[in-house]
Structure 1
Amino acid sequence: MLLYANGCSMTYGAELVDDADPDPVRRRYREDHSWPARLGEFLDADRVVNDAVISGSNDRIVRTTIDWLAEHREDAEKGHLLIVIGWSGAMRREFYVDGEFRQVIPYQPHQHPDLQRLTDVYREVAWNDQECGARLITQVLSLQSFLRLYRIPYLFFDAIESSFDTLGRAGLADSGSTKMVDRSRFYRFGDADGSMADVLRASGTGWKGRHPAEDGHETWAHKLAAHVASERLLRRPTSASVAVPSGRAFSRRGAFRSANRDFLYP
């Protein structure tokens, strides 16, 4: 089974090592200790692709996930694939500037002068809660529909801020579009303080600067694996009493062995 993960720095594994360090050994350490790799071990995945980037926007998540799937249709069609998305902050945007896609966070400066000029205008003219919330729910439903159309198993969650807060500020918490989200495949959708950042802060796990430390990534992988089990996202559990992982005692390998080959299609 192939596990594909996409998101922002919370998925990338920022600050597990120096993000600018060119050393391939240290880069491998980050890849091995971020939550996608840990989840891949729990699910006995043959391969894990972590397509996240630091400061990644939801615009980028939708674009690059669909692009990646278009280039890996064979894996998708065979069903040997699970997509896991850690949705980023709704205020973030992606723009095509000077020949490449670039990520914009309204309150952060950018070294590229044209990107900074665009960010200044966006912050002053177009950045508001209503647009952020409407765009977030549109992106979630769009990717959900795409994955369901092509029968690709998936799991979503909020990485930075609970969608409950984002949609609430936009006046969309009780909207019809919000009710269309498949909650069985969106971990803690709509829960106050339900994002990865919120849950890990409350769990007492360590942080490295503004991002989770190794134990935080492992804890989050445990929780996602538990959700996969509790929502029966696997077609054939290894037994009728597959244990839901609840802590460090959960085996890194074996609990989901042989079950992971056939995910229930959404």
Structure 2
Amino acid sequence: MTYGAELVDDRDPDPELRNYREKNAWPGRIGEFLDADRVVNDAVISGSNDRIVRTTIDWLAAHREAAEDGQLLVVVGWSGAMRREFYVDGAFRQVIPYQPQQHPDVQQLTDLYRKFAWHDRECGARLLTQILSLQAFLQQCRIPYLFFDAIEGSFDSIGRGGLAESAGVEMVDRSRFYGFGAADGSMADVLRASGTGWKGRHPAEDGHEAWAHKLAAYVAAGQLLRRPAAASAAPPTGPAFGRRRAFRPANRDFLYP
């Protein structure tokens, strides 16, 4: 959803196709709308939230000067909670429980994970921990940021894990999490209802543009480019959500790569 999958042939190494994808995926478009000097799209196909937390912290640690100067806006589209990252055979591998893997060792690991360790409780708890951990890191570094859900609502995933009423949910800064708690508020849900085009399982160019418009407008309206206060001085904002919210059942056939 963030990488820009299917905008071009994802397997083609042609740099012109890569440039086209990076320009027309929503990160490139929001960069235009916000008049950014540079856009870094660090997404990969089938990326997990494990990877998002790891690579975001790694990237910011390597670019501390820009972070300290307040020259960055970090935008994170959270992935599916069931996805995982494991280090296998010298590389980080992305795992989706129901999708086949080319590497035999990763396939064996996927089979074992799906059979013994894949559970809504674990997925929801891990996702909430990841959201709060990255939120705290960005606030501590005073880096402007915006979160949203790319595939399905984080609040739904957390709720399926039985954590809707946990204290951690109340700590999510909703002013910097676009659509948190909204029914059908993920990028995929919104664009499916918008009438914009799709290329296979992913948005076409007009969908990426529409989503970038929504995020850019939210950034401008909320003045999110201002550097946030330190985490200790930034209490959560936004209304609490109803305790009786109904959650949609898990869709095990949700096949975004």
Q: Where on the TM-score scale, by shorter chain, does this alignment land: which range? A: 0.7 to 0.9
Equivalent residue of 2:148, what SS?
A: strand
Q: Paired residue for 2:31?
A: 40
The separation in 2 between residues aligned to 1:144 and 1:170, in whole angstroms, is 21
Q: Paired residue for 1:264?
A: 227
1:211 paired with 2:214, answer no
What is the CA distance between 1:46 and its match in structure 2?
0.2
Q: Paired residue for 1:65?
A: 56
Equivalent residues of 1:69, 1:76 under 8 A apart? yes
Q: Paired residue for 2:160?
A: 169
The separation in 1 between residues aligned to 2:102 and 2:56, in whole angstroms, is 27
What is the CA distance between 1:27 and its match in structure 2?
1.1
The separation in 2 between residues aligned to 1:194 and 1:215, in whole angstroms, is 18
Q: Paired residue for 1:252?
A: none
The separation in 1 between residues aligned to 2:155 and 2:49, in whole angstroms, is 16
The separation in 2 between residues aligned to 1:138 and 1:170, in whole angstroms, is 13
Where structure 1 has 5 or more consecutive residues not aligned to the other structure, the ranges are 1-9, 235-262
Equivalent residue of 2:93, what SS?
A: strand
Over residues 10-30 of structure 1, what are the superposed CA-to-partner deviations in whole Å (9 max), with x where a residue is unaligned?
A: 000000001001111111100
Over residues 219-266 of structure 1, what are the superposed CA-to-partner deviations in whole Å (9 max), with x where a residue is unaligned?
A: 0000001111221224xxxxxxxxxxxxxxxxxxxxxxxxxxxx2325
Q: Which amino acid aligns with 2:227?
A: L
Q: Which amino acid aligns with 1:233?
A: L
The separation in 2 between residues aligned to 1:192 and 1:171, in whole angstroms, is 17
TM-score, normalised via structure 2 length: 0.88
Equivalent residue of 2:39, what SS?
A: strand
What is the CA distance between 1:90 and its match in structure 2?
0.3
Q: Which amino acid aligns with 2:205?
A: E
The separation in 2 between residues aligned to 1:264 and 1:97, in whole angstroms, is 38
Equivalent residues of 1:163, 1:191 under 8 A apart? no
Q: Which amino acid aligns with 1:165?
A: D
Over residues 70-101 of structure 1, what are the superposed CA-to-partner deviations in whole Å (9 max), with x where a residue is unaligned?
A: 10000000001000000000000000000010
Q: Paired residue for 1:109?
A: 100
Q: Which amino acid aligns with 1:168?
A: G
Instruction: Write out aligned runs for 1:179-218 (5 A).
Output: 179-218=170-209
Where structure 2 has 5 or more consecutive residues not aligned to the other structure, the ranges are 230-257
Equivalent residue of 1:11, what SS?
A: coil
TM-score, normalised via structure 1 length: 0.85
Which 4+ stretches in 1 moved above 6 angstroms?
A: none
Q: Paired residue for 2:146?
A: 155
The separation in 1 between residues aligned to 2:22 and 2:65, in whole angstroms, is 25
Equivalent residue of 1:177, what SS?
A: helix
The separation in 2 between residues aligned to 1:230 and 1:216, in whole angstroms, is 21
Q: Paired residue for 1:232?
A: 223
